[in-house]
Amino acid sequence: QAATRVGAVAHDLVIVANRLPVDRVTEKNGRAAWRRSPGGLVSAIEPVMRAHDGVWIGWSGGNEARLKPFTVDGLHLVPMAMSETEISEHYEGFSNGTLWPLYHDLIAKPEFHREWWDTYVKVNRRFAEKAADLAADGATVWVHDYQLQLVPQMLRELRPDLRIGFYLHIPFPPTELFQQLPWRRQILEGLLGADLVGFQLPGAAQNFVRLVRQRVGHKTHRDLVYLPDGRTVRAAAFPISIDASGFEELARSEAVTARAAEIREALGNPRKIFLGIDRLDYTKGIYARLRAFGELVSEGALDVDDAVFVQVAVPSRERVEHYRNLRDDIDRLVGRLNGDLGRIGTPAISYMHTSYPREEMAALYRAADIMVVTPYRDGMNLVAKEYVACRIEDDGALVLSEFAGAAEELRQAWLVNPYDMNGMKAALLEAFQAQPKEVTRRMRAMRKQIAQHDVKAWADSFMTELELAEDVQHTKTLR
């Protein structure tokens, strides 16, 4: 067992994710350093990690061959090296060229390559071996996301003493789509290595259980799968959230308040600001939403003196072809809309291809009257929740796609079908013209939901259910 292995440090909690919760930055003196990534996941998991002497295994994002374990703000981090071939075949290839489009409704066409699969297996095995090495006797291991779906089974084979949880951050597809995958059975069996498999929505958990029954042939009852070896696996929904009070506090700060006013000023104090903030990804529906806005302006329903659309597109997966093409398409569309509709000093679209720190995001959320979130498919969409958390004056309209997981909780948004161009135009206009009382009524209800269901509640409920799942196994073995 790891706990007694000479030279090995054993941990009671091991987090396994494709990425470490830190980014490589260059300091003023030119030296490379690590900085905590702004994401909410690490802040949610951090207290659990500290309480359990946890360690986090993940990729640094680079191709360094050797990186030693290190500690940032008291968090123990273990970097996993990835070769150029592995980055290209595991991360860009199988994860983002096969699974990502397959799990997002085939918005882009998934590619099936046997060598990508082989590298996916190889990288998953390395992560599983590292987790097996670092976990104490009877420890808990929490594996995250679609890049590592084989880890639970590989890890269970190496270390049957562990309690293993898996959480999928993205959608799990309908059975008809999943069946296209040549390695569908291996993925299902990989996930079944966990005691608890968590999804964003109940529908995803049901898709998984149905597939296991149909494709692997195991007995299932409601959210439980019964394995021939006597183990039970539970599949359930745990909708992820954000650090709501952290965002709210930031939004209230003087610096963010002043910056929000500065942003409005810089945009020429238009009556209303529309805002989109997304990773530059074809699932997000950026192109369609800008077109909808453009049509409203060209038809005269909106005027560029009255309304501006601020779109922030965060660079992402830039070596994957679909992403490169999307960038070109959006560049061209923004250029055309501004050329056709803008006036000197008042463009129709204010477009930024960059990423911003949390403070600037909070200022943008506070400056914007209408937040537009229109993905074709999205596991959850945290931007929608962040906007709500930052609207400290209970105002601001949210236009939200029905196909974002967040739509199941944020029912008071202006819900749209992003494939329906006229429907989307009507919703943008309604949100633009809505009475302040109506906007406030809706926002209040959404703020209550987000305050009560934050990322801490999410992490706590997953960990609690994981403990219960293991107890079920334990009682069964004793019987």
Structure tokens at 333: 């569309």
**Residue that is written with structure tokens 């070896």 in the block:** 229
Closest to 286 measured CA to CA, from 313, 267, 324, 304: 313
Q: For ligand F6P, give the closer residue by CB, 111 or 467.
A: 111
Q: State which amino acid sits at residue 258.
A: A
Return d(Cα 263, Cα 171) in angstroms, integer: 34
CB of 346 to ligand F6P, least distance (A): 33
CB of 477 to ligand F6P, least distance (A): 35
Q: For ligand F6P, give the closer residue by CB, 145 or 470.
A: 145
Structure tokens at 175: 């059975």
Q: For ligand F6P, give the closer residue by CB, 81 or 227.
A: 81
Closest to 88 measured CA to CA, from 123, 57, 58: 123
Element at 158 (helix H, strand E): helix 151-158
Return d(Cα 134, Cα 276) in angstroms, integer: 41
Q: State which amino acid sits at residue 86.
A: E
CB of 420 to ligand F6P, least distance (A): 25
Those residues whose C-beta lies under 8 Å from the C-beta of residue 422, and which sit 6 or more positions away, are: none
User: Which residue has the closest beta carbon to ligand F6P?
Assistant: 169
Which residues would be at the binding site for ligand F6P (CB under 6 A)? 19, 145, 169-170, 279, 316-317, 379
Q: For ligand F6P, give the closer residue by CB, 285 or 294.
A: 285
CA distances from 295 to 97, 421, 422, 434 (A): 32, 10, 10, 20
Q: For ligand F6P, give the closer residue by CB, 60 or 350.
A: 60
CA distances from 120 to 212, 267, 321 (A): 21, 46, 19
CB of 39 to ligand F6P, least distance (A): 6
CB of 65 to ligand F6P, least distance (A): 21
CB of 89 to ligand F6P, least distance (A): 15
What pairs with residue 350 in β-bridges? 310
User: How do beta strands 75-80 and 70-72 pair?
Assistant: antiparallel
Return d(Cα 227, Cα 8) in angstroms, integer: 32
Q: For ligand F6P, give the closer residue by CB, 19 or 76.
A: 19
The answer to whether the Cα torsion of 398, 399, 405, 409 is positive or negative is positive
Q: For ligand F6P, give the closer residue by CB, 187 or 370.
A: 187
Q: How far is CA 465 from the centre of its chain?
A: 21
Which strands sit side by side in the sheet containing 349-353, from one edge to the other?
A: 349-353, 307-314, 272-279, 370-373, 397-401, 414-416
CB of 140 to ligand F6P, least distance (A): 20
Q: Which amino acids are annotated catalytic? A: 169, 378
Closest to 289 measured CA to CA, from 202, 372, 219, 179: 372
Closest to 454 measured CA to CA, from 245, 301, 210: 245
Q: For ligand F6P, give the closer residue by CB, 409 or 470.
A: 409
User: Contact at 8 Å (CB) between 19 and 147?
Assistant: no
CB of 317 to ligand F6P, least distance (A): 5
Return d(Cα 477, Cα 161) in angstroms, integer: 13
